[in-house]
Structure 1
Amino acid sequence: MTEALRTLLRSTRVVEIVGDIIRVKAQGVAFGEMAVVENVDGEKSLARVVDLEGDLVSLQVYAGGKGLSTDASVSFLGHPPDVVYSEHILGRIFRGSGEPIDKGPDLSMEPRIPLEGPTVNPVMRVLPTRMIETQVPMIDLFNCLVESQKIPIFSVAGEPYNELLARIGFQADADVVVFGGMGLVFDDFHFFRTAFENHGIFHRTVMFVNQASDPLVERLTIPDMALAVAEKMAVEENKRVLVLLTDMTAYADAMKELGIAQERIPAIRGYMGDLYTQLARRYEKACDFKGAGSVTILSVTTMPGGDVTHPVPDNTGYITEGQFYLHDQVIDPFGSLSRLKQHVIGKATREDHGQIMNTMIRLYAGAVEAEKKQSMAFELSSFDEKLLKFGTLFRKRFMDIRVSLPLIEALDLCWQTLAECFEPDELVMKRDLIDKYYPRTEENA
């Protein structure tokens, strides 16, 4: 009898059930190993080893612990968690257990890959030099999304962050989109699927979805599945892969509940002490591979109560390379940051990009100050009046997240907006750029 078969036949009874965690006594079991839990009624569910204490093994049941009996049996499979991977997964939707939920063709005979592969050799990482155009002006113009970047959208409940994420997904110039949804209500799941289908990218999209009604423990596998597939496509098929994850706070909350069920000692606000490590393990999958493709990660991190010091956004900010700060249905130009934008602005983009970015933000900051003066009934100068006009146009033409513009058109619109509000000498920009791009009319010629 082979070792694999002996492993498969190892079976034991349940000793204890705590929420979605069951404990059994077994020998020769590895951390992270997969198992099948068979209840007394014959119903089966996958489980994963999450803790080892001598011969006492704790397993996380994918379908949840509800309805399980201590008379249930556990059979260990002898391998870590994996996910199906082949050319046929494009255009398919999977749940957190790895099973397809779109009623498409059977994939049970397709090859599978482990979720937790080795980390990338640092020598094979290359410096990011390419931009991913999203056609969202507040991103492309002021905080570019750079290929191989990891960056979150910081938001509060009620903001249209899923709408923004979907728009970036179907407008971005990526080869493949891998979507990971955690704790989604059905309306959000249907919205993402419909958006990808209606905009013609579903055939190059893979979706991994954990709905709010699904078992909580399946939520923890969604980022790993999405990133394992993305990395495989980038390395072996030279694809430029964009990974969309929402919502990483829901993912962290699931980790917290698992830690409580395991009776681990919590750290700040009930989260486990390894929160930073667990988030970093996922985000650090973003990479531009030498001689191959790339993985870019754009996630949503909701801030409970709008608190940016909450443990999840706080730890995320240390790991990622900036953030897009979404509030009041706009991307805030002051709270947002892309630390890698200097690698592409004016290099992979048009020569005037850097000057336009700095000038527009400087003048908008002046517009905000002019609005404060106006609200306090201070006397406004003629330049203040120009700033007020500019501020109104800036919000309407660029800050509204529903606006879609290719980068070149957005740059031209910036020059047009400046020309409508200011004279060339008031811009404080390089003269050669003004001479080349500033729109000339009979009035300002």
Structure 2
Amino acid sequence: MTIIQKLIRHIRLLEIVGDLIRVRAEGVAFGDIAVVENIDGECSLAKVVDLDRDIVSLQVFSGGKGLSTDAKVNFLGRPLDVVYSDNILGRVFRGSGEPIDGGPALPTDPRIPVGGPTVNPVMRVMPSRMIETQVPMIDLFNCLVESQKIPIFSIAGEPFNELLARIGFQANADVVVFGGMGLIFDDYHFFRTAFEEHGVFHRTVMFVNQASDPLVERLLVPDMALAVAEKMAVEDNKRVLVLLTDMTAFADAMKELGVAQERIPAVRGHMGDLYTQLASRYEKACDFKGAGSVTILSVTTMPGDDVTHPVPDNTGYITEGQFYLHDGFIDPFGSLSRLKQHVVGKATREDHGQIMNTMIRFYSGAVEAKKKQAMAFELSLFDEKLLKYGHLFRERFMDTRVSLPVIEALDLCWLTLAECFEPKELLMKQNLIDTYYPKAALSKAEPQDAADKAA
């Protein structure tokens, strides 16, 4: 008799609580997969989510509706795994790992375990390469760096899915791994169509849990996506970009599971291990020594636009910055990339650092000038320049629909500054002004300087 055969047991259910069932068993490990066979012969997968001596709690993938206490549980003696081969590129899977795109089954392809440990810090490389997204507010002001983990903080109704999809098909990554949690069908269809229309679907893998799918699959989607991404980075030397939406739906699913397990919540209904659960996923982001990299860009919706909510609050401690999406714009003041100093002016052009600081400094002045105008204060000539600049900055850079390569975006920054300010007002290094300030604008500014001196 093999080890697997010894681990298979036929056990009657002790209790059914929602999608959670409890049985009495021994020799079972946390995270093991089991097959639940109902009295009508219908079978469903389940995952061990809690152990209390010999009482085993399992989350049923298809839900507990219709289950009888006379159902039987067959433990398979192994954790959940997912298909991994070249054949998964261009495919869509559900949270249980089964294809849902109508393509061929993959029964003979090799499988890899899901939810392994994070990478040894010794095997990590200091981030030094930029992922160009062609979104100016990211590439210019808060660069996305390889191996970074960073969320998009937003609220319901904002175009965060549109932004995430654009980054997915515009970013210079080798492979895109998408993980959708609790998506309505329209959102799932939008992502798939966007990747297909922009010609990146052949190098994309999608793991999708729709709102109508079982709750437990929502918890498995990030683990499956990250397991595949890590394997591609380590074995195939790929630069992998992982897109996850929405991590708040993931956290809410954990909260529901905790309630079913009768655990005592910590803050606003969330369990005390929320930080650990989020960190164990985000820390999969890594630039592997001698191999590829995994970069994680996620969406975290803030209930009530409250950044102190447990999910965004814990996420902020784990990740390396955030992009704030407000009113369809990426907010330049709330957004932050803690790794941008590794690439600004090094992986990009020499003027990047000065342009970044100058543009934000002037936009801050434009916001203040806008307040003065709203309160009917008298505006100076320089205030008028700031107001003009603020309008151009929002239109040319802040709008998430704008798409520009980073060099073109830097040139547009200089053009925008030249349209609003004279060279002496920029307070930038003279050698950069001499090199990059538009020559036509510079020639117009010189007579004005001479007139000022004569006056």
Equivalent runs, 1:250-399 vs 2, <5 Å: 250-399=249-398
Residue 7 of structure 1 aligns with which residue? 7
**How far, CA to CA, are the matches of 1:269 and 1:119 in structure 2?**
28
Shift of 1:122: 1.1
Deviations 1:228-253 (A, max 9, x none): 00000000000000000000000000
| Number of aligned positions between the proteins | 444
Equivalent runs, 1:157-196 vs 2, <5 Å: 157-196=156-195
Equivalent runs, 1:34-53 vs 2, <5 Å: 34-53=33-52
Amino acid at match of 1:35: A
SS of equivalent to 1:374: helix
Equivalent runs, 1:89-100 vs 2, <5 Å: 89-100=88-99
Residue 453 of structure 2 aligns with which residue? none
**How far, CA to CA, are the matches of 2:140 and 2:124 in structure 1?**
26
Among the aligned pairs, what percent are the same residue? 82
SS of equivalent to 2:79: coil
SS of equivalent to 1:299: strand
**How far, CA to CA, are the matches of 2:308 and 2:116 in structure 1?**
32
Shift of 1:117: 2.1
Residue 101 of structure 2 aligns with which residue? 102
Amino acid at match of 1:353: H
5+ residue gaps, structure 1, are: none
**How far, CA to CA, are the matches of 2:26 and 2:349 in structure 1?**
63
Please identify, of 253-262 and 106-115, the stretch whose mean Cα deviation from structure 2 is larger.
Answer: 106-115
Counterpart check, 1:403 vs 2:389: no
**How far, CA to CA, are the matches of 1:113 and 1:268 in structure 2?**
35
**How far, CA to CA, are the matches of 2:434 and 2:26 in structure 1?**
77
Shift of 1:363: 0.2
Shift of 1:159: 0.1
SS of equivalent to 2:165: helix
SS of equivalent to 2:296: strand
Shift of 1:7: 1.6
Deviations 1:179-203 (A, max 9, x none): 0000000000000000000000000
**How far, CA to CA, are the matches of 2:399 and 2:116 in structure 1?**
40
SS of equivalent to 1:193: helix
SS of equivalent to 1:77: strand
Residue 197 of structure 2 aligns with which residue? 198
Counterpart check, 1:248 vs 2:240: no
Residue 421 of structure 1 aligns with which residue? 420
Shift of 1:444: 2.7
Deviations 1:116-147 (A, max 9, x none): 22321211101000000000000000000000
Shift of 1:29: 1.1
SS of equivalent to 1:213: coil
Equivalent runs, 1:106-125 vs 2, <5 Å: 106-125=105-124
Deviations 1:143-175 (A, max 9, x none): 000000000000001000000000000000000
Residue 84 of structure 1 aligns with which residue? 83
Residue 444 of structure 1 aligns with which residue? 445
Amino acid at match of 1:3: I
Please identify, of 76-85 and 115-124, the stretch whose mean Cα deviation from structure 2 is larger.
Answer: 115-124
**How far, CA to CA, are the matches of 2:52 and 2:399 in structure 1?**
54
**How far, CA to CA, are the matches of 1:144 and 1:54 in structure 2?**
49
**How far, CA to CA, are the matches of 1:435 and 1:353 in structure 2?**
15
SS of equivalent to 1:366: helix
Amino acid at match of 1:197: E
**How far, CA to CA, are the matches of 1:15 and 1:380 in structure 2?**
75
Amino acid at match of 2:63: G
TM-score by length of 1: 0.99
Q: Is the 8 A contact 2:35 2:44 kept in 1?
A: yes
**How far, CA to CA, are the matches of 2:190 and 2:351 in structure 1?**
37
Amino acid at match of 2:79: P
Q: Is the 8 A contact 2:118 2:280 kept in 1?
A: no
